[in-house]
Amino acid sequence: MDDFLLKFFPAVYEKKQRVNENDYCMFENQFIHLFTSSVYLAAHVSSFFASMVFSKMGRKITMLVASAFYTIGTVLISVARSLEQLIIGRVLLGFGVGFGNMAIPLVLSEIAPVNYRGAVNILFQLFVTIGIFCANFVNYFVSNIHPWGWRLAGFPGLLLYVCSIVVHETPTSFIDAEFNQIIVASQLSPQVKNPFKKLTNPSTRPPLVNAIMLQVFQQFTGINAIMFYAPVLFQTVGIFKNDASLLSSVIIGIVYVISAMVSIKTIDKFGRRALLLQACCQMFITPCIIGGILLAADLKITNSLGSGEGIALAFLPMMCHMHAGIFFFFAAWILIMGLFTLFLLPETKNIPIDEMAESVWKQHWFWKRYMVDQVIQV
């Protein structure tokens, strides 16, 4: 929104007023990089602390902490009078993301029946997509509320707090708590004092590698960057202007929600790998088409590119320097993700979580070499 840019990023606002509509460097600014990346950096750091809170204090407390960070961060952003206050608020929001993403998906996995675990797990993603749609919808309709329309973002955090109060701990949480008490009172406690030591166990490598790679692919295939910067992207390539670019984000949000609802109906029927493979095919084709279309626009850009000092992994500097090539970059990572899914990612449909080692990893052609039974001497 222009009011937001004018208040906190006046240099970007002035630049936006005088550049061509297809200028890929329109929003290239180190403070915007800091503003956007602060959430994800904070979420990354907080996830380590969230895992400890999750293990020691339970799922409910972790969700309450997440909602507290969300609410405080939103309040601070809403009353911000300087860029520093805005960044601090974004960092607190990032802490909320770290704690929330740690607790909520696992809670859903633990309470879901085996035959419907895939559908229940997607509920988290479904409501994320609904939240994105609502945010885009609000952005579009409050863009003309001057100058404080961008501050209307506090309700979701407050709603999470209220819902966390009435949510009960999962049965797995109670079992873990009792098991930890037994461990502390037994001779095994020195051996399991640090849960992160389990990561060095060869039998943990298959699920660990798969979990890490799926998260890496999610970032490098560009979906989060596209969702976050959709209005910026549409304005950059000259497809839409101002409010129209916000409306385009609303349309993307609607498609996102519909896709998540279709996944809920089909994931337990066709399996996780099947859905992921067809998603790879769709995602590979579309950025190649978009990149090819934008190559023609690239030939008309006459501005010279500066050296830049932004973070190499940030989307805005990549778009500034790579132009349409950023979509081919995403397509390459999607191809890698498809190959990884095809050869290394096993199917987990209708398999209980506590039977994954025997029924999944020990049966996989590649990962079974790491699944060695561990015997603990008492």
CB 234 within 8 A of CB 248: yes
Q: How confident is the model at residue 307 (pLDDT cuts 50, 70, 90)?
A: very low
Q: What is the DSSP letter of 146?
A: T
Percent of the chain clearing pLDDT 90 (strictly above)? 1
Please give the domain boundaries of the chain with CATH numbers for all domains: 1-192 (1.20.1250.20), 203-298+315-377 (1.20.1250.20)
Q: How confident is the model at residue 98 (pLDDT cuts 50, 70, 90)?
A: confident
Q: Model-level pTM?
A: 0.61
Q: How confident is the model at residue 206 (pLDDT cuts 50, 70, 90)?
A: confident
Contacts (Cβ under 8 Å, ≥6 apart) of 351: 114, 359, 360
Q: How confident is the model at residue 74 (pLDDT cuts 50, 70, 90)?
A: confident
Of the CA atoms within 13 Å of residue 304, those in its CB half-sphere come to 2
Q: What does the pLDDT read at residue 157?
A: 56
Question: Which 3 state secondary structure label does DSSP give 114?
Answer: helix
Q: What does the pLDDT read at residue 339?
A: 92
DSSP characters over 172-194 = HHHHHHHHHHHHHHSTTTTTSS-
Q: Give the pLDDT mean for 207-215.
A: 85
> Is the pLDDT reported for residue 377 higher than 50?
no
Kindly give the residue spans of alpha helices, DSSP state H, lying in 79-204: 83-111, 117-142, 155-166, 171-185
> Is the pLDDT reported for residue 331 higher than 50?
yes
Q: At what angle do helices 59-78 and 155-166 cross, to 10 degrees?
A: 160
Tokens, residue 109? 């996995």
Top-ranked range on mean pLDDT: pick from 124-133, 223-232, 326-335: 326-335
Q: What does the pLDDT read at residue 189?
A: 46
Distance of CA 197 to the CA centre of its chain: 26
Q: How confident is the model at residue 239 (pLDDT cuts 50, 70, 90)?
A: low
* Listed range (56-70, 88-102, 361-375) with the worst mean pLDDT: 361-375
Q: What does the pLDDT read at residue 304?
A: 33
Q: How confident is the model at residue 313 (pLDDT cuts 50, 70, 90)?
A: very low
DSSP characters over 257-275 = HHHHHHHHHHHHHH-HHHH
Q: Which is more confidently placed, 260 or 235?
A: 260
Q: Give the pLDDT mean for 269-292.
A: 83
Residue whose structure tokens are 């850009």:
301
Nearest residue to 210 (alpha-carbon basis) of 98, 59, 6, 366:
366
Nearest residue to 188 (alpha-carbon basis) of 374, 346, 347, 52:
374
Q: What is the DSSP letter of 346?
A: P
> Is the pLDDT reported for residue 226 higher than 60?
yes
Question: Tell me: the pLDDT tens digits for 140-164?
Answer: 666 666 555 555 555 665 666 676 6
- Rounded Cα gap, residues 212 and 229, in angstroms: 24
